[in-house]
Amino acid sequence: MDVTVAEYIRRTVLKIPRDEIKTVLQKWGFLSEAQLQSINFRQMKENTAQEVVQLCEENSADIRQAAVLDVIYNHIYADKRMWSVYQMNKTGEEMEVFCLTDFKKKIKRRLQSALKNVTITFREYEHNAIWIRIAWGTPYTKPNQYKTSYVVYHSQTPYVFISTSVYKSNLPLLCQALVVASNYHDIREMELRSRSLNSLKDIVFKRYSQNFQTYCPRPLQDRNVAPESADPRIIHENRNEKERIQRVNQEVFGDGPQPKLEFAQYKLETMFRSDPKMDVLDKKEPFRCLVKFSSPHLLEALKSLAPAGMADAPLSPLLTCIPQKARNYFRIREKKGLLPGNFVSP
Amino acid sequence: GVLAHLEMLEMQAHEAAVKQQEVKQQEEKLARLKARVQELRLQRDELRAKVDLQQKGQLGKEGGVSDPAQPSARAVLEWKIKSLKAMLRIFYLTGISSKLTKQGVCFTISTAYEGTYLDSYHLDLLTQPEVRIQRHSVPTFIPLEQIAKKYLQTDIRRFMSVLSDHLNAYVGRRYQADQLQEHFSDQIEGALQRNSLCNLLVFNYNVSSQSKTFLFNARLLYGDLCSILPTEVVISCTPDAPASLAETAGAHSDLFRRMALHKAFRSFRSTEKNVA
């Protein structure tokens, strides 16, 4: 077995939390059950990793199997990477039938004809998700397995989720290959980024709970029915206001859990509005300013602002439009003439 | 003397008799009152039952001492709400229902396949200044923009009907593929290759003939997105398969074209049982 492959497998195993190593190896399926039983998973990770490499040596692992292990790791720990969303367009009306085998062939052909040295690995997951792992090389060097790009694509949708590491220069080639293989015409990056791949999917595939008005017999949810105070002497003075806030919040955010985003960024190119007497930054140029909201779970935080009393309800539409507009990067320019409100550029 | 004593005894006897009578009277009174209490209790229960019945909206004619009376206003309101809910549920069960909103209409398409209700999809439509979709929960692989471009402005009914056909066909195809994976996994070799729209299925399955099993490869193409049956079926066998199997392949191909996928597999099982 190649020394680089052994090292790569060793480093991949070291990334996995100790208690999960066995599960991941089982999913990989490259080592037999008997071999897995022979590993002591309770020792220090460094030693476990050594044992795994030893067994892979016995089974003559090559880079292809090692790549599969990497895909499995990244699928489970997808939130360790930052994912961007790309949107493809097609102008034709004909319905192309998506065939998985053709798709894989086309991607391979495109990438390998441009760059002889690439390692391409495909793996399918549920809901028709296709994971593609690409390790990039150059015409003169072998692929660097530590600088990989990951692509997640659901067939017959115009959205591609890409996580690249450093080599951004290969991005145009990758995008072109995707467009051709999926029968689209062009591709552009959306202003939507997050570590939570599933949340990005929820937003563009519209799987998050939007509050539609229906007569559907949905199961009635107990919407925060506060237990009737046991003590009748307690009067909630602003009960009406509280209820109004709840209602408005529910209309805007819906009932279910929000997609998980870590930040929203607003680039302001508006004029600074001040008292003319103060003479701060005359109206000659826009005051450039960048506002960034960060949170472990931004949308849930925004949802809880009004009920917590920290903001007025309804919140600014600039904040609440994030899932619907499928973006968390905004550029706000000065309104000109008849345009209502600030012009949010695409 | 003796007379006085006799008088005293007489008086005593008299008193005793009176007392005895009093006690007897008390007892009788008690018994009567008890009986009366029973009677009243019975009556009270009867009346309670009547009131209950009335509240449930049923007018009985039994033993009507009290009149069947006007159903209370509350009962009428409850009945109205109940029949409205039933009406709305009927509309929901037809598959397409809607609700007026402040700016337009919200449509709900509830899909089903052969009696099993599956997913519901929603569309918020704005009606001013022209009809357009504000937001929706239709999956991205359904050609919504194409259908909207064709029909939304001119014929909303047709738009909803075409969209409903697409969605119902999609969930129907998906249901068949899921059933195949769930209930016939022992006959399928390897993975079932499918796509988001479930309009191309490729899989290998086992066919037994003369106590030997052969592998067939099936490729089902659903060219019509509004149909739950494939437009094109290609079944191929491995090169070592006997010539007689070609006929079976043809028969299977026919079956897949006519019948839902999981039902076709069910019929294989029963024919195999008959042959074996």
Note down pLDDT in tens along chain A; length 346 residues: 788 999 999 999 999 999 999 999 999 999 999 999 998 888 899 999 999 999 999 999 999 999 999 999 999 999 999 999 999 998 776 677 888 999 999 999 999 998 888 999 999 998 889 999 999 988 888 898 998 999 999 999 999 999 977 667 889 999 999 999 998 999 999 999 999 999 999 999 988 878 787 765 554 444 445 555 567 777 778 888 888 998 888 888 888 889 999 999 999 888 777 666 666 655 567 778 899 999 999 999 999 998 888 888 888 888 999 998 999 999 888 776 543 334 444 4
Tokens of A346: 């695409």
- AA letter at A33: E
Burial (CB count <10 Å: 0-12, 13-18, 19+), residue A168: exposed
Numbered residues of chain A with Cβ closer than 8 Å to any chain B Cβ: 93, 95, 97-101, 124, 127-128, 154-159, 204-207, 210, 212-217, 324
Averaged pLDDT for residues B233-257: 86
| Stretch B52-66: mean pLDDT | 60
Q: Is B146 on the interface with A (CB under 8 A)?
A: yes
Quickly tell me which residue has 């360790």 as its tokens.
Answer: A80
Q: What integer pLDDT is reported at residue A343 of this predicted model?
A: 43
- Compare B47 and B88 and report the one with higher pLDDT: B47
Mutate to test the interface with B, among A208, A214, A324 (most CBs of B within 10 A): A214
Question: What are the chain A neighbours of B143 within 8 Å (beta carbons)?
Answer: 95
Q: Cβ–Cβ contacts within 10 Å for residue A62, how many?
A: 12
Whether B91 contacts chain A with CB within 8 A? yes
State the nearest Cα–Cα gap between A72 and chain B, in angstroms.
18
Whether B138 contacts chain A with CB within 8 A:
yes
Minimal-distance CA residue of chain A relative to B104: A213
E strand residue ranges, chain B: 96-100, 104-113, 116-126, 132-136, 188-193, 200-209, 212-221, 232-237
Closest residue in chain A to residue B93, using alpha carbons only: A216
Number of residues that make up chain A: 346
Which residues in chain B have Cβ-Cβ distances shorter than 8 Å to A99? 195, 200, 202
Q: What pLDDT is attached to residue A166?
A: 63
d(CA A269, CA A273): 12
pLDDT digits (tens, 9 = 90+) for B174-205: 999 999 999 988 888 888 999 899 999 999 99
Looking only at the bridges linking them, the beta strands covering B188-193 and B232-237 are unpaired
C-alpha to C-alpha distance for A252 and A303, rounded to whole angstroms: 9
Q: For B94-99, what is the mean pLDDT?
A: 83
Q: Which residues of A touch B111 (CB under 8 A)?
A: none
Size of interface A-B (CB pairs under 8 A): 80
Distances (CA, A) of A110 to A89, A159, A180, A187, B274: 19, 20, 9, 16, 52
Chain A contact for B137 (CB, 8 A cutoff): yes
Does the CA dihedral A34-A35-A36-A39 come out positive or negative? positive
Q: Cβ–Cβ contacts within 10 Å for residue A323, how many? A: 24
**What is the model's pLDDT at position A53?**
93
* Total Cβ atoms within 10 A of residue B167: 23
Say which of A98, A210, A324 has its CB closest to residue B195: A98
Residues forming a β-bridge with A343: A333
CB–CB of B200 and A324 under 8 A? no
Residue ranges covered by each domain of chain B? 94-171, 176-274
Q: What is the pLDDT of residue B60?
A: 46
pLDDT (average), residues B55-62: 59
CA distances (Å), origin A194, targets A129, A198, A202, A298, A317? 18, 10, 12, 11, 20
Q: Is residue B150 over pLDDT 80?
A: yes
According to DSSP, the residues that pair with A329 across neighbouring strands are A265
The closest alpha carbon to B222, from B242, B239, B200, belongs to: B200
First-to-last CA distance in chain B? 124
Asked whether the whole model's pTM tops 0.80, one would answer no
The alpha carbon of residue B25 and the mean position of all alpha carbons in its chain are separated, in whole angstroms, by 67
Return the pLDDT at A223. Answer: 47
Contact state of B141 with A154 under an 8 Å Cβ cutoff = yes
Distance CA A178, CA B75 (A): 64
Q: How far apart are CA B181 and CA B198, in angstroms?
A: 13
**Of B163, B122, B130, B128, residue with least CA distance to B145:** B163
Taking Cα atoms as reference points, which of A216, A300, A297 lies closest to residue A254? A300
List the beta bridge partners of residue B116: B113
> Could you report how far apart the first and last alpha carbons of chain A are, in Å?
51
Which two structure tokens, joined as six digits, stand for B89? 């549920």
Q: What is the pLDDT of residue A222?
A: 47
Reported residue count of chain B is 276
Instruction: Give the minimum alpha-carbon distance from A132 to chain B in angstroms, rounded to a whole number.
Output: 16
B58 pLDDT above the threshold of 80: no
Q: What angle separates helix A298-305 from helix A239-253, to the nearest 10 degrees?
A: 150
- Would you call A97 and B199 a contact, using CB atoms and an 8 Å cutoff? yes
User: In this structure, what token pair is assigned to residue B59?
Assistant: 């007018």
Query: What is the interface pTM, i.e. ipTM, of the complex?
Result: 0.79
Choose, out of A123, A125, A156, the residue to mutate when testing the contact with B (most B CBs < 10 Å): A156
Structural tokens at position B175: 């249901």
The answer, yes or no, to whether residue B63 has pLDDT greater than 50, is no
| Contact residues on chain B for A320, CB-CB shorter than 8 A | none
Q: What is the pLDDT of residue A339?
A: 36
DSSP-derived 3-state class of residue A312: coil
Name the amino acid, one letter, at A155: S
**A contacts of B110 (beta carbons < 8 Å):** 216
Task: Name the residue with higher pLDDT: B62 or A74.
Answer: A74
Contact B137 A210 (CB under 8 A): yes
Are residues A106 and A185 in contact, defined by beta-carbon separation less than 8 angstroms?
no
Q: Which residues contact A112 (CB under 8 A, 6 or more apart)?
A: A118, A120
Task: Please name each of the domains of chain A with its CATH number.
Answer: 3-77 (no CATH), 83-204 (3.60.90), 242-333 (3.10.20.720)
Q: Are the beta carbons of A206 and B138 separated by less than 8 Å? A: yes
Q: Which residues pair with B204 in a beta bridge?
A: B189, B217
pLDDT-based confidence at residue B64 (cuts at 50, 70, 90):
very low
∠ CA A26-A31-A34, rounded to 5°: 90
Per-residue model confidence (pLDDT) at position B14: 92
Residue A336: predicted pLDDT: 63
Q: Taking residues B163-167, report their average pLDDT.
A: 94
Residue at token pair 């997105």 = B225
Mind listing the pLDDT tens digit for each residue in A281-340?
555 677 788 999 999 999 999 999 988 888 888 888 889 999 989 999 998 887 765 433
DSSP count for chain B of H helices, then E strands = 6, 8
CA distances from B57 to B75, B86, B87, B181 (A): 7, 17, 19, 51
Kindly tell me the burial class for residue A30, based on how many C-beta atoms sit within 10 Å of its own C-beta (0-12, 13-18, 19 or more): middle
Residue A229 confidence (pLDDT): 55
Under the phi-then-psi rule, with left for phi > 0, alpha for psi from -120 to 50, and beta for the rest, what region is B129? alpha
